[in-house]
């Protein structure tokens, strides 16, 4: 088969964990003849979940690229994880997909992760269809699932099929698009076509009429014919539905049993006939706001949407060709770092099995290995070009933990391993916090962090322990204080002498200058950790030479980096240097730095110091039956509820929660909701800590200092 951009179909399988995505992918490959027999998750033999940890856990953790040929099309299939912890894999797949296939567990209906992936479908404006799977389950309920889909995602969710005998005896599907019934043999596979029974003909006809109307709405000629004849033929239907699907004006609903291999072939036929090709999708958006049309005759360009390290192979880069033809041996320039890269080998993938190809055309998805300096979100172009395809935006972290330092010999190996994983997984952020004196991992959930630990221990042979991360408190003051300090040191030869008089006061935007001091100079320091230091030089009469002002400011900054209360950073303070003394021989920068540091510390402690703690905006989506327990749990975490509402079938809670109370919240929320709730968090502000808690935190900090 000659591959053109028009006969490529890029689909991603999305949905809640347990909805059957991996089994459905296996059935698609088998039906297309890409594999000789179907593997099973129980036996760890599926084309998708091929890594050791996926086989051990029995569910998807990484997205997997596969492909199959069906009739006129090459269908690239990306199976994605269903757990929120691995949402980065979902987003990466969505970036390069032209159709999203959302799997629904027929016995559970719309679940939390269905809601989550829908947000990305809307964000990427991806054409989407639903497949209600597991119609053979004893509690399967297609109508309830359809009702939930239409209630949550709107009137454009249109059923194309319905099961005639769902449940343990399932083997019949009524197809309202082709107006025929499929009856499957006991072992699944190719069905027999039979007339639709009279008992359900009226329902099927109503569904068919809605599909004809949806198709006719998108093309004037089709609309005229529809009004004249009241129907459309199959090719006309396909034309109209292709336009409607591409514009997100319809979201088709199909049904199947992936386990029994009943219904997947019809869905693949629909993908071939109706789903948009890359050429039917809007031009790719570039970072500068321009667009890149998909053109197989243009200069070649590609976008790396995923990287993954494999044993004995090294780094594997998965990419989509956005223009031109990419050939084995081609040289490219990385638009993001201007490094040169040669694609020595090109592959199409079937899970871990990769097959060499000589060329990939615009719209196709493939892989290469051992690129020198190319990463996820990089664009590779010809040397004369420099555009960048818009990057994937990954979500903020939901959970943080500290890595307990291993032995000195392993520390360097550990950091190398962590940064390797961080390169592969953009939803992981590794922070080496000098202020907290900890290496902190920021991830999407406890399972996400557990996976990092597993990989380091199994692949790098380093024992890793997690511990509770410290909190990045801030320190400030609430009233004015004046202080002076004389630093005098004599130990033979030249001594040290400096005397500094300062006033410190709480700073706020628009604060007027002091009226009782003569301000000679003002420095505004935007502190690297946030907040400001305002440094006013108010020396009159030369009691301190202006050349020492920088040294005095450095002394103050050194104490602000390690605050007097807990060793946390200080912020939003104005310091006025208004008097002092110096010595013609013994004064120097070091003496004034020391004097300023001690004066600031003493003044700070006399200015009614205040500890500030980080507060996060937290949004929880949960089923109504879990809401009471989740609200109660939030209140034990000192949360302030900002509002409640609904979003689809879920209750929505907005709250402000101190970061100190968010440790292991992922696990608690999962336990309280049986895994059916999700949350997001974003930093909101720093707030004053209540006096009793402030005293406790200060005492703990002092104890740690004594122990150290």
Backbone conformation region of residue 150, classed left if phi is above 0, alpha if psi is from -120 to 50, else beta: alpha
- Both 275 and 304 in a single domain? no
For residues 41 and 170, membership in a common domain is answered with: yes
561 and 459 both lie in a single domain: no
Residues 301 and 429 in one domain: no
In a domain, 73, yes or no: yes
Q: What is the structure's pLDDT at 233?
A: 67
In this structure, the answer to whether residues 526 and 634 fall within a common structural domain is no
The rounded distance, in Å, linking the Cα atoms of 80 and 88 is: 10
Is there a single domain that holds both residue 245 and residue 360? Answer: no
Distance CA 26, CA 20 (A): 10
- Same domain assignment for residues 306 and 273: no
CATH number, domain of 648, equals 3.30.70.240
145 and 56 within one domain: yes
322, 346, 381 - which closes a domain: 381
Residues 6+ apart with CB under 8 A from 288: 387, 388
Token pair belonging to 339: 């490094």
Q: What is the CATH number of the domain that holds 274?
A: 3.40.50.300
Question: Do 104 and 15 meet the contact criterion of CB atoms below 8 Å apart?
Answer: yes
Report phi then psi at 179, rounded to 5. Answer: 55, 60
pLDDT of residue 706: 59
Question: For 561, phi and psi rounded to 5 degrees?
Answer: -70, -30
Could you give the CA distance from residue 666 to residue 403 in angstroms, rounded to a whole number?
A: 18
Regarding whether 515 and 592 lie in a shared domain, the answer is: yes
Any domain includes 702: no
Q: Pairing between strand 678-688 and 609-622? A: antiparallel
pLDDT of residue 670: 87
Pairing between β-strand 573-581 and β-strand 353-357 as defined by DSSP bridges = unpaired
The three-state DSSP-derived secondary structure of 481-517 is EEEEEEEEECCCCCCEEEEEEEEEEECCCCCCCCCCC
| Same domain membership, residue 100 and residue 174 | yes
Instruction: Assess whether 416 and 498 both reside in one domain.
Output: no
349 part of a folded domain: yes
Total count of domains within the chain: 5
Give the C-alpha separation, 708 to 600, whole Å: 24
Query: What is the pTM (predicted TM-score) of this model?
Result: 0.86
Place of tokens 């922070």: 431
204, part of any domain:
yes
C-alpha distances in Å from residue 591, one per residue of 404, 498, 576, 662:
38, 5, 18, 44
- CATH classification at residue 405: 3.30.70.870
- Within 10 angstroms of residue 396's Cβ, the number of other Cβ atoms is 13
The answer as to whether 706 is a domain residue is: no
The answer to whether 448 touches 666, Cβ cutoff 8 Å, is no
390: in domain: no
For residue 375, the domain's CATH number is 2.40.30.10
- Residues 184, 39 share a domain: yes
Last residue in a domain, options 222, 252, 280: 280
% helix, strand, coil for the chain, step of 5: 30, 30, 35
DSSP string, 59-96: S--S-EEEEEEETTEEEEEEE---SGGGHHHHHHHHHH
Which of 408, 433, 467 finishes a domain? 467
CATH (domain of 602): 3.30.230.10
Q: What is the mean pLDDT of each run of 10 residues along the chain (708 residues)?
A: 90 93 95 91 86 80 94 95 91 97 94 85 95 96 96 93 95 95 94 96 93 78 62 75 91 97 96 95 94 95 93 88 95 93 94 92 96 94 90 92 84 89 92 89 92 88 91 96 93 83 96 93 93 95 93 96 93 96 92 96 96 96 91 96 87 95 91 86 94 92 68
In a domain, 167, yes or no: yes
- The verdict on residue 328 lying in a domain is yes
Under DSSP, the state recorded for 565 is T
Q: Which domain holds residue 352?
A: 284-381
């Amino acid at each position: 088969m000659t591959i053109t951009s028009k006969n490529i179909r890029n689909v991603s399988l999305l949905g809640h964990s347990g909805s059957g995505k991996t089994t459905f992918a296996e059935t698609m490959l088998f039906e297309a003849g890409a594999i000789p027999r179907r593997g099973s998750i129980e036996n760890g033999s599926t084309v998708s979940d091929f890594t050791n940890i996926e086989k051990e856990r029995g569910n998807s953790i990484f997205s997997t690229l596969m492909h199959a040929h069906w009739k006129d099309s090459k269908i690239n299939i990306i199976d994605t994880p269903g757990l929120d912890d691995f949402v980065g894999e979902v987003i990466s797949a969505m970036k390069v997909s032209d159709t999203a296939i959302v799997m629904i567990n027929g016995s559970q209906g719309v679940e939390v992760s269905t809601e989550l992936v829908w947000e990305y479908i809307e964000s990427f404006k991806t054409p989407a269809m639903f497949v209600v799977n597991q119609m053979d389950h004893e509690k399967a309920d297609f109508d309830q699932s359809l009702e939930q889909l239409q209630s949550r995602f709107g009137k454009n969710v249109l059923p194309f099929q319905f099961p005639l005998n769902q449940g343990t005896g399932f083997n019949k599907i009524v197809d309202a698009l082709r107006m025929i019934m499929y009856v499957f043999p006991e072992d699944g596979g190719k069905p027999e076509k039979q007339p639709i029974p009279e008992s359900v003909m009226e329902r099927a006809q109503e569904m068919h009429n809605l599909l004809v109307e949806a198709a006719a709405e998108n093309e004037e000629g089709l609309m005229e014919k529809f009004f004249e004849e009241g129907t459309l033929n199959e090719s006309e239907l396909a034309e109209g539905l292709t336009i409607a699907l591409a514009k997100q004006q319809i979201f088709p609903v199909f049904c199947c049993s992936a386990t029994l291999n009943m219904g997947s072939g019809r869905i693949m036929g629909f993908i071939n006939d109706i789903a948009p090709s890359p050429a039917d999708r809007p031009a790719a958006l570039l970072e500068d706001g321009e667009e890149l049309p998909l053109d197989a005759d243009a200069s070649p360009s590609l976008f790396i949407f995923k990287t993954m390290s494999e044993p004995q192979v090294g780094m594997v880069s998965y990419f989509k060709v956005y223009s031109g033809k990419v050939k084995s041996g081609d040289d490219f320039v990385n638009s993001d770092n201007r490094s040169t890269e040669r694609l020595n080998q090109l592959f199409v993938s079937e899970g871990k099995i990769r097959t060499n190809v000589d060329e990939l055309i615009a719209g196709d998805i493939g892989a290469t290995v051992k690129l020198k300096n190319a990463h996820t979100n990089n664009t590779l172009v010809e040397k004369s070009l420099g555009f960048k395809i818009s990057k994937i935006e990954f979500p903020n972290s939901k959970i943080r933990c500290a890595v307990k330092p291993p032995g000195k010999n392993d520390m360097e190996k550990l950091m190398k391993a962590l940064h390797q994983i961080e390169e592969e997984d953009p939803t992981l952020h590794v922070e080496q916090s000098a202020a907290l004196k900890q290496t902190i991992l920021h991830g999407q959930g406890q399972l996400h962090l557990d996976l990092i630990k597993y990989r380091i221990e199994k692949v790098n042979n380093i024992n890793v322990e997690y511990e509770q991360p410290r909190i990045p408190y801030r320190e400030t003051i609430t009233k004015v204080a004046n202080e002076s300090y004389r630093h005098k040191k004599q130990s033979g030869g030249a001594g040290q002498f400096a005397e500094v008089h300062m006033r410190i006061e709480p700073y706020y935007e628009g604060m007027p200058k002091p009226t009782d001091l003569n301000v000679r100079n003002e420095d505004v320091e935007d502190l690297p950790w946030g907040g400001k230091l305002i440094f006013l030089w108010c020396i009159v009469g030369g009691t301190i030479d202006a050349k020492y002002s920088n040294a005095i400011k450095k002394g103050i900054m050194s104490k602000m980096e390690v605050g007097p209360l807990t060793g946390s950073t200080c912020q939003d303070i104005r310091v006025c240097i208004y008097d002092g003394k110096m010595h013609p021989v013994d004064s120097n920068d070091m003496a004034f730095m020391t004097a300023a540091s001690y004066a600031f510390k003493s003044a700070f402690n006399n200015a009614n110091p205040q500890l500030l703690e980080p507060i996060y905006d937290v949004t929880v989506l949960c089923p109504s039956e879990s809401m009471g327990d989740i609200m109660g749990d939030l209140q034990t975490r000192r949360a302030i509820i900002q509002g409640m509402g609904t979003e689809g079938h879920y209750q929505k809670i907005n709250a402000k929660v101190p970061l100190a109370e968010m440790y292991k919240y992922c696990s608690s929320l999962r336990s309280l909701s049986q895994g059916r709730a999700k949350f997001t968090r974003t930093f909101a502000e720093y707030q004053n800590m209540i006096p009793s808690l402030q005293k406790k935190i200060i005492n703990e900090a002092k104890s740690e200092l004594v122990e150290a």
